[in-house]
Amino acid sequence: MAVENYPEVWHNGKFIPWEQATVHVASHVVSYGSCLFEGIRCYETPGGPAIFRLKEHVDRLVNSTKIYRMELAYSREELAQAMVELVRVNKIQSCYLRPIVFRGLGEVGVNPLKNPVEIYLLAWKWGRYLGADSLKDGVEVCVSSWQRMAPNTLPAMAKASANYMNSQLIKMEAQLNGFAEGIALDASGHISEGSGENIFVVRGETLYTPPLAASVLPGITRDSVATLARELGFQVAEQNLPREILYIADEVFFCGTAAEITPIRSVDRIPVGKGKPGPVTMRLQERFISITNGKSEDKYGWLTPCAQPVAATR
């Protein structure tokens, strides 16, 4: 997807033009992948733009920095407010927000501790991640030959750029073989997640999802889905899942900030259920979209409203 960016970028406390948001090639992040990030959606609602689960995304970003020993010069509250200001300054109605924290230009070598920590907040337009009709029609996926990181190698609970080298292999293999996405297994052969999405399996009245120990990112949309499923009267179980459950499930779907709630209509060319989006998935999707678009009461306090746009200051 081409980047349809918004013009103002927040960098270490100041707004700068998109064109000036650059990184020196000798920065630690370029050679060693020392970068952490988040993906957050801001939705257009009748009351104006609103950021979905901002607090939880900031918390996860801070947790990632703690795992990788990156000290931030800004509090959680300051980072959250900066993202609200980013929406205001760019006069955004809806967008995808990308906070990035990385090790910049300093010493050369694997040890990152003497390299400065840089923070950028970006925004761009992003539609349906897995295709224009993916939420309505579902997608065809495969089980990847690439597995997720084994425990005690790279921490899957951190949303680190380095982890997405693994994701790239999963994604490229899937798309080159004619699928929209791949599903990776963990080091023990259990279902883990997609290249950039968590996964749920529906059987009867129960939704199953892999546990954090299966090398999955603690997804914020994943948590939202579990909350909404219980609200609708379904049971939610977090447990290890064998590969073959994908082939005999009633329904399977991806979820994530980019993918939102995307039905899976086949796995390895085997139809899931009736080979089309199932009723549970679509009920959850409808409820999720109704809340994020401001058409239903935000009973869980998931939306952070953004006030009227203000002039950018540098």
Q: Domains for the chain: give ranges and CATH numbers.
A: 4-127 (3.30.470.10), 134-277 (3.20.10.10)
pLDDT for res 10: 98
Judge whether 276 counts as a catalytic residue.
Answer: no
- For 290, phi then psi, to 5°, come to -60, -40
**Distance (Å, rounded) from C-alpha 155 to C-alpha 216?**
9
- Contact between 135 and 262 under an 8 Å Cβ cutoff? The reply is yes
Catalytically annotated residue among 91, 125, 136, 159? 159
Residue 263, beta-bridge partner list: 253
pLDDT, position 84: 97
Confirm if 101 and 45 have CB atoms less than 8 A apart.
no
Q: Residue 50: its pLDDT value, please?
A: 97
**Per-block average pLDDT, block size 10, for the chain (314 residues)?**
90 97 97 97 96 98 98 97 97 96 96 97 86 88 97 96 97 97 98 97 97 97 98 98 98 96 97 97 97 96 80 44
Minimal CA–CA distance to 101: which of 158, 31, 42, 165? Answer: 158
pLDDT at 308: 59
Neighbours of 83 (CB within 10 A): 24
Q: Which residues contact 175 (CB under 8 A, 6 or more apart)?
A: none
pTM of the model: 0.94
pLDDT at 313: 42
